Chains A and B, each alone.
Chain A
Amino acid sequence: MSTVLLEVDDLEVTFRRSAGPGRRAASVPAVRGVSFQLEAGTTLGIAGESGSGKSTIARTLMGINKPSGGSMRLNGADVGALRGRELAQYRQTMQMIFQDPYDSLDPRMKVSETLLEAIKLRKNKPASPLNEVYQLLEKVGLSKSFASRRPRELSGGQRQRVSIARALCVDPRLILCDEAVSALDVSVRAQVLNLLKDLQEDLGLAYLFISHDLSTLRFMADYVGIMYLGKIVELGTRDEIFERPQHPYTRALLSAVPEPVVIDRTVRLPRVRLTGEPPSSTNPPTGCSFHPRCPLAQEICRTTAPARRVTSSGQLAACHFAEPELVVAEA
């Protein structure tokens, strides 16, 4: 179980914004030194506010955006060094499911056409592609009759199932889900999440699951990373993050979940309320990026960026005050 499938080390992605009317050219560091590992067959959830760089990580892994620094290794192979056919091969090991189920399928193509197109990209082509389409549809819980339909005849959940089937066409080992269920109704969302879990068990898939919804991550993820302004500020197992959060930002996010996250609280956590907007990523604050909004901020936070270190409860956190003693003191 513990083979590392994906290893991201110190990944940086910077967007260049060209000058336009009333604004200067600027570079926007969207992802600033992100590192994590993903084991085969497990799920890493990534949460954070809008603009924190979650989707950029997924898009960079898929090759849609170019990294400006750091490395990505898939099955030990450096992705940045791959070219041509190897790159195409690599891409198929990893697939992506998009947020908007109404835009991720070509509206002019029947479901069967969409899937056949993807099946044809396989290295060893199946004897009967159409049979393969039916099998894939069955895998994602759709009947054969869906093959002849067009996207506009499908509901959001059905479309997302077709998107999943399309991703499965090329036999990926890792699926990036970028807000894959955020646009769905709550009841449908649960069904799609269960489908993803079943597929994970059957096919041994790994997921990088990006969501702003913490309850979704609590249900799906084995590991959770919390992002703030392009950095992962806290990274640990699901239980560590949800039950013993160390970083004040993680605590703030957990406090913001509207329905009470029912947690067996051995230590009572103080409620942390976030004020203000996240700062602009063109011009991130000095020191710890979170300090302007942090209830615990001290002088050191303004001057020195905290290093990510293992805390006493096990997970990694980037905070000068990430110690359990502090939690007790606050309570």
Chain B
Amino acid sequence: MSEAVPAAAAVDPLALGDKPVRAREVLRSLKKDPAALASIVVLLALAVIALAAPLLSPHDPLQTFPDIGLGPQGQPLPPGTPGFLLGTDALGRDVLSRLIYGAQVSLVIGIVANGLATAFGVLVGIVAGYFGGVVEAILMRITDVVISFPILLLCTALIAVTTRSTFNVIIVIALIYWTTLARIIRSMVVSLKEREFVVASQTLGLSHRSIMWRHILPHLVPAIIVYTTLGVASSILIESALSFLGIGVPIPQPSWGQMISDGSTYFQIAPWMLFIPGICLILTVMAFNLVGDWLSDMLNSQTPLAR
């Protein structure tokens, strides 16, 4: 070859595989963003706590301690009471144990509901953006209709017609949250499908399905990762809101939203019942948001390289 060779290609091409470069870049960009690093630590710790809940929690989260868990007037015990590190609630249940199991519920709902929403949103977005025309019009009008419903009202209605269960909460959240991603993905696909490599695969005679799967979806992965991370935070929040309104995860199963809801009743005599799950919720949501922002920055700065 006598053609000019760019500097990168002068190096052994096999040594330029994608993975080592990326891993190094991830570490470098984490070093520059301590908030994201801290958030990742928080989320990992949360995941470990949720997974190891039976090992970590000092008591059964559903067990009431009418004798030792309540004060002389039957009031909840404050944090620091021997045996109840973070105090007890109005029924004499251990707040720490409920918090740990609540993390399980919040994470499962956040991740599963959001995972379903992502899968559905991406599917709708790709199909609408790729085919355009009538398909797009129908899919996007449905999306608009779902978006224009007040979220909490829709949730309430949906749960009212079904039974109150964790599974239903997940489905309801998924049914609501796919819309944003569907819109974002659609707009990205509309511009992607005009790129010459997509047109080239069409002219080669590749099937629509393989074009969408092999040439469009891989280019959406960075965006999907970012929006999914941010979406987990919203899903956890909406679950809390539903529990707060009494239509979330069925009682007595602990969830953070449920704990906040209970806590608000006893706010004046037992503020810890409100603040402890509240702070955990804020920390988790913030961590997901910060990680999402960091991913977005990092993956966007990589885009020119990926071209």
Instruction: List residues of A whose CB falls within 8 A of some B CB.
Output: 62-64, 88, 91-92, 95-96, 98-100, 102-108, 117-118, 121, 141-143, 145, 148-150, 152-155, 157-158, 163, 166, 169-170, 185, 188, 191
Q: Are A105 and B197 also in contact (CB < 8 A) when A92-B204, A121-B206, A149-B13 are?
A: yes
Q: Give Cα distance in the complex from A137 to B8, angstroms.
A: 20
In angstroms, how far is the closest chain A Cβ from the Cβ of B150?
30
Q: In this complex, what residue of A is CB-closest to B219? A: A108
List of B residues within 8 angstroms of A106 by Cβ? 197, 201, 214-215
Once the chains bind, are B200 and A157 in contact (CB under 8 Å)?
A: no
List of A residues within 8 angstroms of B205 by Cβ? 88, 91-92, 121, 170
Q: List 20 A-B contacts (CB under 8 A).
A: A63-B203, A64-B199, A64-B202, A91-B203, A91-B204, A96-B203, A104-B196, A117-B204, A149-B9, A149-B13, A152-B305, A153-B8, A153-B9, A153-B16, A155-B4, A155-B5, A158-B1, A166-B200, A170-B205, A188-B3
List of B residues within 8 angstroms of A157 by Cβ? 3-4
Q: Are A166 and B204 also in contact (CB < 8 A) when A152-B307, A191-B3 are?
A: yes
- Other-chain contact of A191, B2, B218, B306 (Cβ < 8 Å): B2
Q: In this complex, what residue of A is CB-closest to B304? A: A152
- Other-chain contact of B204, A102, A121, A191 (Cβ < 8 Å): A121
Q: Give Cα distance in the complex from A163 to B204, angstroms.
A: 11
List of A residues within 8 angstroms of B219 by Cβ? 108
Once the chains bind, are B214 and A117 in contact (CB under 8 Å)?
A: yes
In the complex, given contacts A107-B306, A118-B204, A153-B13, what are 13 additional A-B residue pairs having Cβ atoms less than 8 angstroms apart? A64-B202, A95-B204, A98-B200, A104-B200, A105-B197, A106-B214, A117-B204, A117-B210, A143-B1, A152-B306, A153-B9, A154-B6, A169-B204
User: CB-CB contacts of B191-235 with A at 8 A, as 1s and 0s?
Assistant: 000011101111111100010001100110000000000000000
Q: Are A170 and B4 also in contact (CB < 8 A) when A103-B197, A117-B214 are?
A: no
Once the chains bind, are B14 and A148 in contact (CB under 8 Å)?
A: yes
In angstroms, how far is the closest chain A Cβ from the Cβ of B192?
11
Ranked 4 nearest A-B pairs via Cβ: A104-B196, A153-B9, A103-B196, A98-B196
List of A residues within 8 angstroms of B200 by Cβ? 96, 98, 104-105, 163, 166
Q: Are A155 and B9 also in contact (CB < 8 A) when A64-B202, A170-B204 are?
A: yes
In angstroms, how far is the closest chain B Cβ from the Cβ of A132?
15
List of B residues within 8 angstroms of A169 by Cβ? 204
In angstroms, how far is the closest chain B Cβ from the Cβ of A226?
26
- Other-chain contact of B307, A91, A107, A141 (Cβ < 8 Å): A107
List of A residues within 8 angstroms of B218 by Cβ? 108
Q: Give Cα distance in the complex from A91 to B2, angstroms.
A: 33
For the complex, would chain A's binding face be called helix, strand, loop or mixed by DSSP majority? loop
| Residue with the highest number of chain A CB atoms closer than 10 Å, among B9, B201, B204, B215 | B204
| Interface residue tally on B, bucketed by range | 20 to 34
Once the chains bind, are B199 and A98 in contact (CB under 8 Å)?
A: yes
Q: Give Cα distance in the complex from A279 to B1, angstroms.
A: 44
Once the chains bind, are B203 and A62 in contact (CB under 8 Å)?
A: yes
In angstroms, how far is the closest chain B Cβ from the Cβ of A120?
9
List of A residues within 8 angstroms of B2 by Cβ? 191
List of B residues within 8 angstroms of A155 by Cβ? 3-6, 9
List of A residues within 8 angstroms of B1 by Cβ? 141-143, 158
Q: Give Cα distance in the complex from A145 to B5, angstroms.
A: 14
Q: Give Cα distance in the complex from A155 to B206, angstroms.
A: 26
- Other-chain contact of B4, A62, A98, A150, A185 (Cβ < 8 Å): A185
- Other-chain contact of B13, A63, A95, A145, A191 (Cβ < 8 Å): A145
Once the chains bind, are A152 and B196 in contact (CB under 8 Å)?
A: no
Q: In this complex, what residue of A is CB-closest to B195? A: A103
In angstroms, how far is the closest chain A Cβ from the Cβ of B9?
4
In angstroms, how far is the closest chain A Cβ from the Cβ of B15?
11
Q: Give Cα distance in the complex from A265 to B144, angstroms.
A: 67
Q: Give Cα distance in the complex from A121 to B201, angstroms.
A: 11
Q: In this complex, what residue of B is CB-closest to A104? A: B196
Q: In this complex, what residue of A is CB-closest to B7? A: A153
Once the chains bind, are A154 and B197 in contact (CB under 8 Å)?
A: no
Once the chains bind, are B203 and A102 in contact (CB under 8 Å)?
A: no
In angstroms, how far is the closest chain A Cβ from the Cβ of B170?
32
List of B residues within 8 angstroms of A141 by Cβ? 1
Q: In this complex, what residue of A is CB-closest to B202? A: A64
List of A residues within 8 angstroms of B195 by Cβ? 103
Q: Are A154 and B9 also in contact (CB < 8 A) when A105-B197, A191-B3 are?
A: yes
Once the chains bind, are A188 and B4 in contact (CB under 8 Å)?
A: yes
Q: In this complex, what residue of A is CB-closest to B10? A: A153
List of B residues within 8 angstroms of A96 by Cβ? 200, 203
Once the chains bind, are B9 and A104 in contact (CB under 8 Å)?
A: no
Q: In this complex, what residue of A is CB-closest to B4? A: A155
In angstroms, how far is the closest chain B Cβ from the Cβ of A48?
21
Q: Give Cα distance in the complex from A107 to B195, angstroms.
A: 11
Q: Give Cα distance in the complex from A173 to B108, angstroms.
A: 57
List of A residues within 8 angstroms of B197 by Cβ? 103-107
Q: Give Cα distance in the complex from A155 to B3, angstroms.
A: 8
Q: Are A108 and B206 also in contact (CB < 8 A) when A141-B1, A153-B16 are?
A: no
List of A residues within 8 angstroms of B196 by Cβ? 98-100, 103-104
List of B residues within 8 angstroms of A142 by Cβ? 1
List of A residues within 8 angstroms of B6 by Cβ? 153-155
In angstroms, how far is the closest chain B Cβ from the Cβ of A26?
20
Q: In this complex, what residue of A is CB-closest to B307? A: A107
In angstroms, how far is the closest chain A Cβ from the Cβ of B46?
33
User: CB-CB contacts of B286-307 with A at 8 A, as 1s and 0s?
Assistant: 0000000000000000000111
List of B residues within 8 angstroms of A108 by Cβ? 218-219, 306
Q: Give Cα distance in the complex from A102 to B200, angstroms.
A: 13
